[in-house]
A and B are shown apart, each in its own frame.
Chain A
């Protein structure tokens, strides 16, 4: 369920976890997404092993409390993205 904003993806306005095939995972508010890219607002990112935490550890903690905003806006190439799921699902 998104917001009343039209012409945006279904996840517009929802805080999502964007996983990649590489070592990075991102959490932020989905602004829009299509075949080319995923745009996140107020996002945080984590690299596997950073601060001693795996990507899964990081997502578990994010699911409990949320994330600190590190990037006002992030544009991620869709080709690097393996999944986009609401943080609330974790």
Chain B
């Protein structure tokens, strides 16, 4: 059962405030995933206190890296059920977990950060993993 929208609002805003696009429907997800060019990161947000509380700041820290994904979006597990189910369909071989981060290059899944790699770690540690993925797959922006 979804939590109160009021409870979840600041958790959404922690990501949308960074300019991350929120995908609220299956159609939103399909539109985001339809672009197969470049790099795209999809953050599966969640209420979970132990992991999501580190995942969101980790995403913020990671996006300070010199090379970042071309496009970043988020779905909210347990809240936006249709959008989350559709998003997971794009990495259907991987057991669902939230929070988690899926990273695509030219439409292919090239990196996945599952919940258990977030639990019990600091935001800096999780951000370091994301930055490593960015360094491996993303181009440094010119200028």
Contacts and interface: CB of A to CB of B under 8 A. Distances in A.
Interface of A: 1-4, 13-15, 63, 65-69, 86-88
5 contacts: A65-B93, A66-B116, A68-B95, A86-B116, A87-B116
A65 B49 contact: no
B120 A88 contact: yes
B94 A15 contact: no
Interface of B is mostly: loop
B97 A66 contact: yes
B95 A13 contact: no
Contacts of A66: 94-95, 97, 114-116
For chain A, what secondary structure do more than half of its interface residues adopt (helix, strand, loop), or is it mixed? Answer: loop
Interface size band for B = 10 to 19
Contacts of B110: none
Interface in B84-104: 93-95, 97
Interface in B23-57: 48-51
A88 B95 contact: no
B65 interface: no
A3 B95 CA distance: 23
A86 B95 contact: no
Given A14-B116, A66-B115, 10 more contacts: A2-B50, A3-B50, A4-B49, A4-B50, A13-B48, A15-B119, A65-B112, A65-B114, A66-B116, A86-B119
